[in-house]
């Protein structure tokens, strides 16, 4: 099993994912532990000297003006009883900080999120500016490595002073309180420690504040969300590529020289990635006139037994000579047959503008990663301890109250990502809708089903589900970070709400995953139809010659018509081009993804219960069954 060494300065997103999702353990850098202990010894020495230090010999938040006394005043209250715990007031202060701040509500965070919180918190404490003792940090590390997962209810952080409440749920288990999961079983924190062979910890100076003051929940959730989004960016490109192949679309909007003129990094990367996914495709950029349009199967549709095995008919429409005026140049290049592909040099926005839209989401992802990478190795608790500060005259120059716990850097970039997710889902839904709509799907069957008897709905309602998911994502995209609600009697009068922001983004990636799965599921059906229709036309021309092909063309002139000879020559040319063409196929990466889908989801010839199909498509995307090349494309 992989072991990650923590020194406070080199933690990466991949390290966090390894701990959160793959069970990696951590070890503490021995040299850096000396710095950790030096800060703890410094605090202890200053307390012995009687120095007032925020959160060590004073209360917290709006209680910061209350200095700790030499003994408990409550013991002298009428009827009061001495506290049975053998704790000093500074120890009681730290203990009470944790137990009173562990007040989150809701369902427990996923174990992966909690494990990510733990490794992030350990790493920031390793910087040696927090005052925690080495033995306490080692106990926290042992808790992580032993598989104890504290129960952390999802809701309760306002993102400043950091994630106080959820981090208190982490720390309370270290004290033997709260609840935790161990080997999948939920139990008290004390019992989890006992089963793991660990002892509860008694906190010393500033250790409670070091444990619960920071951005670990919002950061952990952000890391996991960005990891999901990185994969989904690749899936979005793959879905777009499969849809583009299913449309026999145009590649001009993907060309490298085009994007060099507007070189937003994400846009350039998205175009490049889709070009790579479409490599070896013979569907992209094929001539308009080769593409037949779908026609409902009839018993008389095909002549031979091999042809009669097909579940569809195909048709073109011939353009008469007297309808070509002003279009002569076009018809010298393209044969005068209207099939499935409209005679226009550009595709709809959802295909043509895909690099610009996917690329903008990529750029949002990159910006969020930049901020997260900084935060992973930042000190985010308060106050900050500088035991080696040169020339310090007063304690305030070595123990400095600042605002590194404020989550706004994370909150704002995650609000950017939050707004980007519905955009990616929306353009995916538009491509899906274009596939099923006979007015826009370039000659494919309505709702991607033959519907010979008028009883089939095909993929009609799949688009409804995608639309519902996109609407739900859009309504959740409003930033939490713009709504600060003051706390702690207005001592903490501006907060980030970053934990809500990051948690919502992680939740939204699951719906985005499902939208993309629906597009892949639908595009696979469309691709089968497009491929089979083109190859049926090619096979017909090979077997029956141009006369057999002519029977599939509407508005053909009679043999006694003056235009018949021109018609015959043009059909012969069409037949020759079809016979000479290689087998029509999608890009290699698209073909591989299509084959993966078809391993468990069969082509739908006529209506069937689709619940299993959709669940399977969603599962495949969620479990990362598709190889998309460089997932982020950047």
Residue 182 is predicted with a pLDDT of 97
* Of 580, 582, 561, the residue nearest 572 (C-alpha): 580
CB 205 within 8 A of CB 44: yes
Q: Return the percent helix, strand and coil in the chain, to nearest 5.
A: 55, 10, 40
Tokens at 171, concatenated? 């720390």
d(CA 310, CA 533): 9
d(CA 92, CA 86): 9
CB 240 within 8 A of CB 351: yes
Kindly provide the b/e burial profile for residues 106-116, where b requires at least 16 CB atoms within 10 angstroms of the residue's own CB.
Answer: eebbbbbbbbb
Residue 394 is predicted with a pLDDT of 82
Residues 6 or more apart whose CB falls under 8 angstroms from that of 523 comprise 239, 242, 243, 245, 246, 431, 432, 435
Distance between alpha carbon 231 and the CA centroid of its chain, in Å?
6
Tokens at 372, concatenated? 């997260």
Residues 6 or more apart whose CB falls under 8 angstroms from that of 609 comprise none
Q: Counting Cβ atoms within 10 Å, is residue 2 exposed (0-12), middle (13-18) or buried (19+)?
A: exposed
Helix (H) or strand (E) holding 500, with range, is: helix 498-550
Please report the DSSP string for 212-258 in residue order: HSBSHHHHHHHHHHHHHHHHHHHHHHHHHHHHHHHTT---GGG-HHH
Architecture of domain 226-367+407-622: Up-down Bundle (1.20)
Residue 227 to residues 21, 152, 213, 307, Cα–Cα distance (Å): 11, 21, 25, 48
Residue 69 is predicted with a pLDDT of 67
Domain 3-214 has CATH 2.40.37.10: no
In which residue ranges of the chain is CATH 1.10.275.10 found?
3-214
Residue 76 is predicted with a pLDDT of 65
d(CA 442, CA 294): 9
- Global pTM value: 0.94
Residue 81 is predicted with a pLDDT of 63
CB 495 within 8 A of CB 160: yes
Distance between alpha carbon 91 and the CA centroid of its chain, in Å?
43
Mapped onto helix, strand or coil, the DSSP state of residue 262 is coil
In which residue ranges of the chain is CATH 1.20.200.10 found?
226-367+407-622
d(CA 267, CA 263): 7
Which of the residues 54, 231, 288, 521 is marked catalytic?
54
Residue 75 is predicted with a pLDDT of 65
Tokens at 229, concatenated? 């989004």
CB 338 within 8 A of CB 316: yes
Residue 631 is predicted with a pLDDT of 43
CB 448 within 8 A of CB 610: no
Residue 317 is predicted with a pLDDT of 96
d(CA 532, CA 359): 32
Residue 90 is predicted with a pLDDT of 83
* Of 219, 233, 501, the residue nearest 363 (C-alpha): 233
CB atoms within 10 A of CB 33: 16
CB atoms within 10 A of CB 476: 16
Q: Could you give phi then psi for residue 23, rounded to 5 degrees?
A: 75, 15
CB 417 within 8 A of CB 364: yes
* Of 212, 119, 203, 101, the residue nearest 167 (C-alpha): 212
Residue 79 is predicted with a pLDDT of 65
Mapped onto helix, strand or coil, the DSSP state of residue 394 is coil
Residue 49 is predicted with a pLDDT of 82
Tokens at 263, concatenated? 């070189």
Residue 1 is predicted with a pLDDT of 76
The question of whether 54 is a catalytic residue gets the answer yes
Residue pointed to by tokens 């209810």: 153
Give every residue of the chain whose pLDDT is below 50, as ranges.
631-634
- Greatest C-alpha distance within the chain: 120
Strand ranges, E, within 340-423: 384-385, 399-400
Instruction: Report pLDDT digits (tens) over 135-158.
Output: 999 999 999 999 999 999 999 999
Residue 557 is predicted with a pLDDT of 95
Residue 436 is predicted with a pLDDT of 98
């Amino acid at each position: 099993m992989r072991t990650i060494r923590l020194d406070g300065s080199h933690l990466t997103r991949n390290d966090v994912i390894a701990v959160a999702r793959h069970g990696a353990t951590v070890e503490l850098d021995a040299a850096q532990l000396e710095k950790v202990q030096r800060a703890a010894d410094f605090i202890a020495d200053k307390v012995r000297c009687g120095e007032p230090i925020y959160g060590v010999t004073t209360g917290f938040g709006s209680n910061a003006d209350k200095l700790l006394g030499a003994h408990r005043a409550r013991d002298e209250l009428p009827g009061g009883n001495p506290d049975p715990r053998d704790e000093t007031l500074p120890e009681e202060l730290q203990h009470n900080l944790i137990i009173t701040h562990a007040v989150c509500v809701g369902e427990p965070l996923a174990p992966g999120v909690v494990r990510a919180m733990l490794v992030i918190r350990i790493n920031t404490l390793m910087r040696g500016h927090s005052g925690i003792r080495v033995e306490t940090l080692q106990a926290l590390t042992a808790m992580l490595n032993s598989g104890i997962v504290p129960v952390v209810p999802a809701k309760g952080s306002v993102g400043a002073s950091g994630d106080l409440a959820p981090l208190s749920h982490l720390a309370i288990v270290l004290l033997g309180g709260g609840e935790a999961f161990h080997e999948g079983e939920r139990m008290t924190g004390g019992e989890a420690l006992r089963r793991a062979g660990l002892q509860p910890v008694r906190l010393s100076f500033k250790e409670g504040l070091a444990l619960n003051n920071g951005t670990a929940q919002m950061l952990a959730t952000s890391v996991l969300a960005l990891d999901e989004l990185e994969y989904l960016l690749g899936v979005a490109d793959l879905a777009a590529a499969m849809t583009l192949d299913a449309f026999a679309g145009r590649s001009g909007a993907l060309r490298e020289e085009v994007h060099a003129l507007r070189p937003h990094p994400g846009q350039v990367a998205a175009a490049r990635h889709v070009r790579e996914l479409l490599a070896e495709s013979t569907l992209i950029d094929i001539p308009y006139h080769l593409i037949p349009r779908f026609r409902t199967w009839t018993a008389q549709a095909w002549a031979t037994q091999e042809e009669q095995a097909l579940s569809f008919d195909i048709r073109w429409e011939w353009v008469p000579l007297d309808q070509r005026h002003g279009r002569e140049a076009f018809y010298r290049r393209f044969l005068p047959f209207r099939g499935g592909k409209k005679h226009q040099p550009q595709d709809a926005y959802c295909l043509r503008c895909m690099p610009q839209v996917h690329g903008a989401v990529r750029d949002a992802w990159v910006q969020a990663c930049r901020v997260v990478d900084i935060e992973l190795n930042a000190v985010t608790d308060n106050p900050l301890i500088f035991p080696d500060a040169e020339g310090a005259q007063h304690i305030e120059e070595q123990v400095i109250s600042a605002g590194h716990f404020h989550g706004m850097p994370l909150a704002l970039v995650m609000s950017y990502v939050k707004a980007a997710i519905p955009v990616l889902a929306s353009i995916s839904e538009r491509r899906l809708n274009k596939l099923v709509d006979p007015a826009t799907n370039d000659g494919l069957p309505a709702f991607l089903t033959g519907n010979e008897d008028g009883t089939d709905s095909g993929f009609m309602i799949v688009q409804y589900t995608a639309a519902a998911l996109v609407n739900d994502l859009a309504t959740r995209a409003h930033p939490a970070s713009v709504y600060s609600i003051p706390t702690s009697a207005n001592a903490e009068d501006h907060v980030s709400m970053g934990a809500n922001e990051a948690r919502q983004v992680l939740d939204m990636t699951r719906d985005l995953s499902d939208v993309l799965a629906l597009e892949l599921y639908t595009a696979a059906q469309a691709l089968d139809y497009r491929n089979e229709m083109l190859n049926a036309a090619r096979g017909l021309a090979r077997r029956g010659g141009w006369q057999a092909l002519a029977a599939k063309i509407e508005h053909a002139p009679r043999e006694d018509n003056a235009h018949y000879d021109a018609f015959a020559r043009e059909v012969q040319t069409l037949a020759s081009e079809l016979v000479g063409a290689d087998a029509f196929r999608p890009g290699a990466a698209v073909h591989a993804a299509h084959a993966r889908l078809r391993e468990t989801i069969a082509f739908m010839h006529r209506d069937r219960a689709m619940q299993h199909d959709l669940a399977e498509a969603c599962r495949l995307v969620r479990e990362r069954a598709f190889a998309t090349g460089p997932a982020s494309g950047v």
